Amino acid sequence: MTQTMTMAKALNAGLRRALEADPKVLLAGEDIGKLGGVFRITEHLQRDFGEDRVVDSPLAESGIVGTSLGLALRGYRPVVEIQFDGFVWPAFDQIVSQVSRMRFRSLGRLSVPMVIRIPYGGAIGAIEHHSESPEAYFAHTPGLVVVSPSTPLDAYWMIQQAIASDDPVIFLEPKRRYHEKGEVDLSEPPLAMDAARVVLQGTDATILTYGPMVKTCVEAALAASGEGRSIEVVDLRSLSPLDDATIRASVEKTGRAIVVHEAVRTGGLGAEVAARLQEWCFYSLEAPVLRVTAYDMPYPPSRVEKNYLPDLDRILDAVDRSMAH
C-alpha cells in the first residue's frame, strides 16, 4: 500500500508503527507529549500510547540521554528527541563517552539499542542554535551509527530500522524538508539503513550528498542536463558507516566527484569522502574531488543564511570546474 505524506507525517507513522510492534519502545523528549513536539513529529502519540511510553522530559538534554541510556541497558528501546540540533551539546558528553562506548567497554555483553533524533540543518529562518549541522562530530565517534533520510519514504522506514538496531543511532532529520511530500510504500523498506541510493543516473560526474541537500543537488543535476551534462546524484543516507561500495562504483563510472553538505568545510564529512575516493579511485579520477559546503564560520543570522548555505549556483559552479579538467 502506498500513501502520499510529508516527511513529518512519515516519521510520525514510523514511530507509531514501532510503538505498536514492541512494548519496549519508549519516546522521551521536551514537549513531545501533549504538544506533539515543536515540529509535531510525535503528535497524538502520547494520547494513544500513554504518558509512560511517550514521556515529556525536563529541559535537560544530558538527563534525557543519560536516563535513556539506563533504560536501553535494561532492555528498553528508547527514542530520544533533541528539540533542535544546537541543543545536543549538553548531552554530547553522555553520547560520546557513554552511549557510544558501552558495547565495546563491556566486550559485547551490553548493547545500547537507543535512537537520538536530531532535527538539523538550516534554511528555516531560525535563530542561533537552531540551524546547525553537527553530523561530523558523531560520524567521527566509533560506536555510533549516523543516518539521515532525505525523503518521506526513507524517513518512514529508516526510523523503524534505527529503533530495531542494537547499536545506538544518531538519527538526523533535515528540518527544512519536514513538510515536503512524497510517496511512501508501507509494505516493505526499499533499502537497508546503511545503504546509499543512486537518485539520478549519470555518466559525466557524481554528486555525493545527503539529508537536506539531496533535493538541491537533484535540481542542480537537472539544470546541468540542460547544458548537455549527465550528472549522477548519490544520496549517502548512512554517514557512519558509509556505503563504500556504492560510492566507489559511481565515481569509478563517472570519473568525477563533488561532495555537497550544509556543514562547514573543515573536518566535514566531505573531507572523509574525498580522502576515501583518493585512495580507491585515484586511477579513475579525471579531476580533483571537489567540495561544496557552508563556510568555516558560526551559523549566521537568518537574514543572510541563503548566502551561507550551498545552493544551485555554487553546485553548478563546482560541476563546471570539475568538467573543465
Residue 42: partners with Cβ closer than 8 Å, 6 or more residues away? 12, 15, 27, 29, 32, 33, 36, 54, 81
Please choose, from the candidates 114, 53, 64, 57, the residue with its C-alpha nearest in 3D space to the C-alpha of residue 88. 64
Joined grid coordinates for residue 157: 522506514
CA dihedral 227, 221, 131, 301 (to 10 degrees): 0
List own/partner pairs for 275-284 with CB under 8 A and 24 or more apart: 276/242, 276/244, 276/247, 276/248, 277/247, 277/248, 277/251, 280/244, 280/248, 280/251, 280/252, 281/248, 281/251, 281/252, 281/257, 284/251, 284/252, 284/255
**What is d(CA 260, CA 146) in angstroms, rounded to the nearest whole number?**
17
CB neighbourhood size of 255 (10 A): 17
179 is catalytic: no
Name residue 91's amino acid.
A
Half-sphere exposure of 196 (CA within 13 A, CB side): 25
Which residue among the candidates 44, 129, 130, 179 is catalytic per the annotation? 130
Please choose, from the candidates 118, 72, 109, the residue with its C-alpha nearest in 3D space to the C-alpha of residue 91. 118
- Which residues participate in catalysis according to the annotation? 130
